[in-house]
Amino acid sequence: MTASGFSAAAPDTALAALFVPFELGHLHLPSDGRVLFLRARAGVRLRVMAQPAWLCEQGFMPFADELGRCGLHVGEASVGELFPLVLILPPRQRDEARALFARALQHTAPGGTVLVSMPNAEGAKSGEADLVKLAGAVQHLSKHKCRVFWTTPTADSVDHELLTQWLALDAPRETDDGFVSRPGLFAWNRIDPASALLAAHLPADLRGRVADLGAGYGYLATQIIARCPQVSSIDLYEAEARALEPARINLTRAQQASGRDVEIAVHWHDVTRGLPRRYDAIVSNPPFHQGRADLPELGRAFITSAADALGPEGRLWLVANRHLPYEAILAARFHHVTTVTTQDGFKVIEANGVRP
């Protein structure tokens, strides 16, 4: 674990499998050393293989920070920038993965290769079928319970109409609930029931400067603006960069609907590393897992950061799965801790009176 509480190591199997085609001689690194790595993750194999000209894209701040600490170049490819090799560790969410495949083809130089590694349990066969549909024939191998597949697309083999369609899959879109989101975000196409429960119990007398930690596409913050007329400003903190644009849109809409001059700001930030300013109130539906693994220390880190950022009379409102063991850290950091409600497997907690 890193200091931030997130596991810094890549899914070791997927990252190790990604480089097997080079070890077996099926592929060779480009002579000019230029490689684009989409959704890159730090790990031993990457540190061994990477060269100074590699560009690693990673929108989740804790993972991007870890890549930087490993001495890797982290950033985004420019429009029209082409690479002889594009590596991908795709996400589970299929629309997000399809958009990533389309982006990879946009940045692949003529004669270049797109190389993908996916765990078998996370849709690897479907991912390979999607790349075939988009780019033409692929080669593949299996290793470490992962499927590794690659293609060298040509102008004739690429389905350009499908490419355009799949690029659009990553654009922010309005969901049936009236919020703007995008595939792959937490509860991206629905209102998360835990967040809805917390919103329903937020007191109308929240006031002053408020922060929403781990805000996602901004649902909770919109409810604060709608339900708490004495809130003068709200800061959203979210570690996933893809959530920021939808959050800004949703907050702007909520501010306009309220008819009040609420100051709003959206920050790409790892909450577990602390907050840059102090607040009168903080709300959060903190993350408690990474992938399929429960990591309650994430929620505890959020609580610690919240306590450090609240004034003496500040209030923390959070929601969590009922089984998560947050009571000890809450009691250690606050004089008063109240379970406001338990419902449908969730608990809503108010804490105030920050302990020094």
pLDDT tens digits, one per residue of 141-175: 999 999 999 999 999 999 999 999 999 999 999 99
Q: What is the mean pLDDT of residues 230-250?
A: 98
pLDDT for the residue numbered 295: 73
Model pTM score: 0.92
pLDDT for the residue numbered 287: 87
Judged by phi (left if over 0) then psi (alpha if -120 to 50, else beta), residue 169 lies in: alpha
Residue range 6-55, pLDDT digits in tens: 443 345 789 999 999 999 999 999 999 999 999 999 998 898 899 999 99
- Of 318, 316, 319, the residue nearest 345 (C-alpha): 319
Residue 353 carries which side chain, given as an amino acid letter?
G
Residue range 194-216, pLDDT digits in tens: 999 999 999 999 999 999 999 99
Q: What is the mean pLDDT of residues 209-237?
A: 97
CB atoms within 10 A of CB 229: 14
Residue 139 in this model has a pLDDT that exceeds 70: yes
pLDDT for the residue numbered 1: 32
pLDDT for the residue numbered 41: 95
Q: What is the mean pLDDT of residues 234-251?
A: 98
Q: What is the mean pLDDT of residues 168-187?
A: 96
Cα gap 330→296, rounded to integer Å: 13
- 106 class by beta-carbon count within 10 Å (0-12 exposed, 13-18 middle, 19+ buried): middle
Angle between helices 124-135 and 160-167 (to 10 degrees): 130
Residue 294 in this model has a pLDDT that exceeds 80: no
Q: How confident is the model at residue 5 (pLDDT cuts 50, 70, 90)?
A: very low
pLDDT for the residue numbered 356: 85
Residue 296 in this model has a pLDDT that exceeds 90: no
pLDDT for the residue numbered 293: 53
Angle between helices 160-167 and 94-106 (to 10 degrees): 120
Angle at 154 between CA 151 and CA 156, to 5 degrees: 125
> Do the Cβ atoms of 97 and 91 come closer than 8 Å?
yes
Domains assigned to the chain: 12-168 (3.40.50.150), 173-354 (3.40.50.150)
